[in-house]
A = this chain, B = another copy of it.
Amino acid sequence: MVKPATPPPKRRGRQRSVAAEAAILKATLELLGKKSLNDVTSEDIARKAGVSKATIYKWWPNKNLVALDAVGARLAIDLMVPDTGSAKKDFTRHLKDTIVFYKSPMGRQLCQFLAGGQNDPEFLDLFRKRFLKPRRDSLLVIWQRGVDRGEIRREFDGELVLDLIFGPMVYRLMAGHGPLDEQEAVAITEAVFCGIALPIDD
């Protein structure tokens, strides 16, 4: 799956089992709903998927990448970006949704992956490419629209804007040092858009 690329052009012998792959991803996803990434063992996955451990390692170089695919495949679906006509509203809306999802047991994976990536640069890289990048690219659309409509100042890089908005969420998700709910989402976008400085209304 990591390198699906070209669909197999027909090979001799038994063909790769699509069922096995699906079972592996499904099992991984379910397990990740219950345990943290590194409490899920490769044997857990194999057993639950009714699959051999060797089959897993045949197609993925390690456990983490299985999880990445499992979560990635799933989230590819629900990538939809609001378009209310206001960048601020769009960001607020998306931030709220994102927070709700990532706080759910099924959604802690973002943190798990970031955590896993700290000890595995290769994995972190893939995580960015296959997980983060697509989402961020979608969100950049909001930013671009905002800039185009004259809602957002041009001098700030789009990437930076995303980090200004989602960085605080990521921080709180990972460190858990403060509340994280719809109210915070509103406050964050409000602050990012309007700034925390008092107008120097001399």
Contacts and interface: CB of A to CB of B under 8 A. Distances in A.
A128 B176 contact: yes
Interface string A158-202: 011101101111111011111000001001100111111110000
Interface residues of A, number: 54
A151 interface: yes
B194 A192 contact: no
A188 B31 CA distance: 38
B119 A174 contact: no
Contacts of A36: 118-119
A114 interface: yes
A115 interface: yes
B164 A192 contact: yes
Contacts of A128: 175-177
A11 interface: no
Interface in A129-145: 132-133, 136
A124 B145 CA distance: 39
Contact of A167 (B115, B116, B132, B167): B167
Interface of A: 36-39, 88, 108, 111-112, 114-119, 124, 127-128, 132-133, 136, 150-153, 156-157, 159-161, 163-164, 166-172, 174-178, 184, 187-188, 191-198
